[in-house]
Amino acid sequence: MAEAILGKIIQWGLLLIFLFIVMFAFLNPKFGLMQKIGKASLSFERFLPDSPSKDVAADQSLPKEATSIQQRFLSEISTYSDKSNCLLRFSDLSGLEDTKLELVNFEGKISSRIQKPTGQKLNPIPTGINVQLCKINAEELYNCCLKNNEATDCSKCGSQIYSTISSVLLSNDKIVLSSLKSGEYNYAKGLIFKPTADRTCFIPVYSGWFTKPGCEASGDKLDDDCITDIEIKISNCGESKSCKSPNLCVSAPECSGSVITNEACQNDQVCCAFN
């Protein structure tokens, strides 16, 4: 009995000594294993990438010319808000330089931001009127009133000649439309078509040495030669020119084979430039 009790005491004593040695090895502030692991982790820390400081503010700088163009552009596309079936002119965008103008349909208006080369988008400004972005449907517009000098008045083509889109990314030379498959496209600079009072349509175009002379359409784009025809057939917003000689006011069928101009006539007549 005494031998069994002595054995238990020795066993527990050895266990306590073992635990003490282990704790000393791990927790000793000078020589312990945990201290060595801590030092090792600190030595590796210098190889980790720096994380951005929360105290560093994002770069909010924008070229003054870009913000001026943004405000002017929104003002220009908001004019003649009650006009439809007309061409709206906007000013040169070359001052954007390497920034771009983002336009987005938002709550019935067009919201605009300036996109920097880094992709950062700043300075949100909405239009003051209810208006939505759109693009012309090139082939429908061409077939309806541009093909072979058709006499049809473009304003009578209806909703088939345009489609509402959700966004536009605009630079001085190129345009990216949300509805097109990919990439940047040329567009009719300084020119927007307003098929209805609440739509603002951009006109994607193409050009090249190997295209046929004259107006034609290819997919989502018009030949840039079509711009002259569009300007003849669709009046500028705010303009109401009366039909003047040598042109004549006639019914649309009588103008078949000739060109209907954007000059105004009374009733349902059109101003015809006879060949």
Q: What is the pLDDT of residues 134-176, one digit of tens each?
A: 999 999 999 988 887 666 677 778 899 999 999 999 998 899 9
Average pLDDT over residues 21-39: 57
In the chain, how many domains are there? 2
User: Which residue type sits at 170?
Assistant: L
Higher pLDDT pick, 90 / 179: 90
Q: Which residues pair with 179 in a beta bridge?
A: none
Q: Residue 36's pLDDT is what? A: 55
213, part of any domain: yes
Give the H/E segment covering residue 250. Answer: strand 248-250
Q: Which two tokens stand for residue 128?
A: 């003051």
9, part of any domain: no
Same domain (yes/no): 214, 271: no
Residue 76 structural domain: 64-237
pLDDT of 227 higher than 60: yes
Same domain (yes/no): 120, 182: yes
Model pTM score: 0.66
44, part of any domain: no
pLDDT of 81 higher than 70: yes
Same domain (yes/no): 147, 254: no
42, part of any domain: no
Q: Are strands 217-218 and 204-206 parallel, antiparallel or unpaired?
A: unpaired
- Out of 124-133, 150-159, 246-255, least confident range: 150-159
Same domain (yes/no): 76, 201: yes
Same domain (yes/no): 139, 151: yes
